[in-house]
Amino acid sequence: MSAIQVTLPFALLLVAASVAHPQEVKKDIPYASPANARQVLDVYAPSGAKNLPVVFWIHGGGWQAGDKSEVQVKPQAFMDHGFVFVSTSYRLLPSVDMGTIVRDVAKSLGWVHSHIREHGGDPDRILVMGHSAGAQLAALLCTDDRYLKAEGVPFQAIKGCVPVDGDTYDLPAIITTAEIRRTAHHLPQAKFGHREKFGNDPEKHLDFSAVTHVARDKGIPPFLILHVADHPDTSAQAQRLASVLKVAEIPATIFSAQETTHTRINDNLGKSDDPATKALFGFLTERLKP
d(CA 254, CA 106): 25
Arithmetic mean of pLDDT, 223-233? 98
pLDDT beyond 70 at 10: no
d(CA 143, CA 221): 8
pLDDT beyond 90 at 3: no
User: Which pTM was predicted?
Assistant: 0.92
- Residues of the chain above pLDDT 70, percent: 92
Binning pLDDT at 50, 70 and 90, where does residue 290 land? confident
**What CATH number does the domain located at 10-169+214-287 have?**
3.40.50.1820
Residues 143/206, Cβ–Cβ less than 8 Å: no
pLDDT beyond 60 at 9: no
Arithmetic mean of pLDDT, 18-44? 88
**Whole-number average pLDDT of the chain:** 93
| Residue partners of 40: CB distance under 8 A and separation at least 6 | 27, 28, 29, 30, 31, 68, 88, 89
Q: Rounded to 10 degrees, what is the CA torsion of 226, 170, 113, 276?
A: 0
Q: Rounded to 10 degrees, what is the CA torsion of 289, 43, 270, 11?
A: 20
pLDDT beyond 80 at 81: yes
Arithmetic mean of pLDDT, 59-65? 98
Q: How far is CA 168 from CA 101, 131, 139, 174, 272, in A?
A: 15, 11, 9, 7, 29
d(CA 181, CA 187): 8
CA atoms lying within 13 Å on the CB side of residue 89: 23
| Residue partners of 272: CB distance under 8 A and separation at least 6 | 17, 18, 77
Q: What is the pLDDT of residues 157-216, one digit of tens each?
A: 999 999 999 999 999 999 999 999 999 999 999 999 999 999 999 999 999 999 999 999
pLDDT of residue 93: 98
pLDDT of residue 20: 52
- Residues of the chain above pLDDT 90, percent: 91
